[in-house]
Structure 1
């Protein structure tokens, strides 16, 4: 470093290195904000997604299916409340851990848009198909596909995070 009347000025090489460090910190922050959920929340989310078709199927069934409709409604409310509470805990924990709020706008649209459209269609369409046909295979197939999509989505963002880190 050079001194000029008491003022310390970095050399051009030091200034470039500092700028490169700033870019690396910016890239790191972006990668952190795209990091997947913690494993415990991913597991809870996958179980929630897998349960929705059966519970919703029980609600829309032409007649009582396995449980009374009131019981299915209670299960749906309790399940959704538990999911929302876990979501709040995961978001708070994430912000405390990284200092960055959870943001979906940094995730690639080529992955989020198909999931945002396809998963609800799958989870709502299968109970409708079940009501129309009376065949519970629609519900179980939707559960399996929904769980697989949830796990694949998580693994995609694990890979994205590793690539950006």
Structure 2
């Protein structure tokens, strides 16, 4: 079945509710503590390592949850009333394969559409099906067919497959 209508048109990425995963990069700021602030990548086991706070589970959590976890660890014997903020500075890459000229892994940027992703992969091959894209969203186990329109959005960690057309 091919998804149609507004159901497949994902709005702009919601940073506040975005769930972190392997490959995402965060900027953590501990106010008035520059030595504890920095940029941290989510490791393959879904954690980040922060000075004094140690290893923090980050996989499938939003930035608010991460900031709160770091704040709680720092308040537990290290700092009095720490103020911590976190923001995503780089999203995990997306993958595109199948009937594109340069399949592979590419960096995600906000507002990316499937057609932009195809262009990033140097365009369609002559055998490509240009009306349907198969997408497996990050964390999903199965791919779904979507009508290929200019509004079809890519999310961080998506795997896009452009299939071969049948005449």
Q: TM-score, normalised by structure 2?
A: 0.21
Q: Higher relative CO (CA 8 A, sep ≥ 6), structure 1 or 2?
A: 1
